[in-house]
């Protein structure tokens, strides 16, 4: 039986392409026939909005999943991409760090709930821009961490802090946690700086950096306001092509197997 793959998409910097990657990697994998679940773990709820889940649909949220008796299945909402469902987030998630501070096993809350995911699921967790309790829950629940890096100055700064957190999670209860890889995002090929950042990242991190680089593409930034992944909004765009290619590399790296229907 195919195992589940749980991937935390994390970087404590905001605006580096975590949510965009969660939505479009999720859509690309789902379109390839993988049963894919996106967990929106950011109080801003951008992944939920970007996939067209309106506030009125967010009855059961990731906050209930963490803090309440709700099961994963009860919190899942189908999206317009078949095979892709999401657990949405609402702003009340922003108090989770404080609300859950006294809870027993508070870093394992998500892990427990994800254990009931159907076999063969790919679960992508869109982390908030911080290394707090929410991201810790994601890393404790995950098999791997995918790190989007924006191809700009200072991109590599902060990475060591992230890797320290990964090591800490490994030592404190999730020994098998890996870094799946680093994805360069929002690269501008006309800009020498982007090329310099890419060269630096590859020199420092080697094969950890995925071959595909996501270009800065206006269709990618427009898609969320149409409540769609760019793969639906403009399948022919450069952004869509890059995310499809990246999804292929990602599936190969994780040795993802498709569940027989
Ligand atoms: P994070 O989740 O890390 O905060 P986002 O995915 O929300 O980052 O991206 C930050 C902003 O950059 C968003 O407005 C998003 O639409 C835009 N963006 C992300 N990737 C691209 C891209 N490849 N091309 C153009 N704009 C992008
Ligand atoms: Mg985000």
Kindly give, in sequence order, each residue whose CB lies less than 8 Å from that of residue 146, ignoring residues fewer than 6 positions away. Answer: 7, 8, 9, 10, 21, 25, 180, 181, 182, 183, 250
Model confidence over 203-238: pLDDT tens digits? 999 999 999 999 999 999 999 999 999 999 999 999
If pLDDT is split at 50, 70 and 90, which confidence band does 39 have?
A: very high
Q: Is 129 near ligand 1, meaning CB less than 6 Å away? A: yes
Structure tokens that stand for 194 in this block:
């982007």
- What is the average pLDDT across 55-84? 96
CA distances to 151, 186, 200 from 196, in Å: 9, 14, 6
Model confidence over 116-141: pLDDT tens digits? 999 899 999 999 999 999 999 999 99
**Residue 49 reports pLDDT greater than 50:** yes
Structure tokens that stand for 9 in this block:
């998409």
The atom number, within ligand 1, closest to the CA of 218 reads 25
Query: Integer distance in angstroms from the first to the last C-alpha of the chain?
Result: 13
Q: Is 45 near ligand 1, meaning CB less than 6 Å away? A: no
Q: Hey, which of 221, 223, 228, 245 would you mutate to test ligand 1's pocket, going by the most ligand atoms within 8 Å of its Cβ? A: 221
| pLDDT at residue 260, as a whole number | 54
**Residue 21 reports pLDDT greater than 70:** yes
**Residue 190 reports pLDDT greater than 90:** no
The atom number, within ligand 1, closest to the CA of 14 reads 4
Higher pLDDT, 256 or 123: 123
Structure tokens that stand for 103 in this block:
């809870």
What number does CATH give the domain 5-180?
3.40.50.300
pLDDT, mean over the chain:
94
Strand partners, 7: 124, 144
- Domain segments of the chain: what residues? 5-180
| pLDDT at residue 152, as a whole number | 82
| pLDDT at residue 57, as a whole number | 94
**What ipTM score was computed for the predicted complex, to two decimals?**
0.99
Q: What are phi and psi of 175, to 5 degrees?
A: -60, -20
Q: What are phi and psi of 247, to 5 degrees?
A: -60, -35
| pLDDT at residue 8, as a whole number | 98
| pLDDT at residue 261, as a whole number | 47
Strand partners, 14: none
| pLDDT at residue 259, as a whole number | 59
Higher pLDDT, 261 or 212: 212
Q: Ligand 1 center to residue 3 CA distance, Å?
A: 30
Model confidence over 73-97: pLDDT tens digits? 999 999 999 999 999 999 999 999 8
Q: Is 177 near ligand 1, meaning CB less than 6 Å away? A: no
**Residue 2 reports pLDDT greater than 60:** yes
Classify burial at 158, counting beta carbons within 10 Å of its beta carbon; exposed 0-12, middle 13-18, buried 19 or more.
middle
Q: Ligand 1 center to residue 20 CA distance, Å?
A: 6
**Residue 157 reports pLDDT greater than 90:** no
Q: Is 242 near ligand 1, meaning CB less than 6 Å away? A: no
């Amino acid at each position: 039986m195919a195992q589940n793959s749980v991937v935390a998409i994390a970087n404590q910097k905001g605006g580096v392409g975590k949510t965009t990657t969660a939505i479009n990697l999720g859509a690309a994998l789902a379109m390839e026939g993988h049963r894919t679940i996106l967990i929106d773990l950011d109080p801003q709820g951008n992944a939920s909005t970007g996939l067209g889940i309106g506030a009125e649909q967010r009855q059961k949220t990731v906050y209930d999943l963490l803090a309440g008796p709700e099961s994963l299945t009860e919190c899942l909402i189908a999206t317009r991409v078949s095979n892709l469902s999401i657990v949405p987030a609402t702003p009340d998630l922003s108090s989770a760090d404080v609300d859950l501070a006294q809870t027993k096993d508070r870093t394992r809350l998500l892990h427990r709930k994800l254990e009931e995911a159907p076999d063969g699921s790919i679960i992508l967790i869109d982390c908030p821009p911080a290394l707090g309790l929410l991201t810790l829950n994601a890393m404790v629940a995950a098999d791997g961490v995918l790190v989007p890096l924006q191809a700009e100055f200072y991109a590599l700064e902060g990475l060591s802090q992230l890797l320290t957190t990964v090591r800490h999670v490994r030592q404190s209860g999730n020994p098998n946690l890996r870094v799946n890889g680093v994805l360069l995002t929002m690269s501008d090929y006309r800009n020498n700086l982007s090329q310099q950042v890419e060269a630096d990242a590859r020199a420092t991190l080697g094969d950890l950096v995925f071959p595909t680089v996501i270009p800065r593409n206006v269709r990618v930034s427009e898609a969320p306001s149409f409540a769609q992944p760019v793969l639906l909004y403009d399948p022919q765009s450069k952004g869509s092509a890059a995310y499809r290619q990246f999804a292929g590399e990602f599936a190969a790296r994780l040795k993802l197997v498709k569940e027989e229907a």
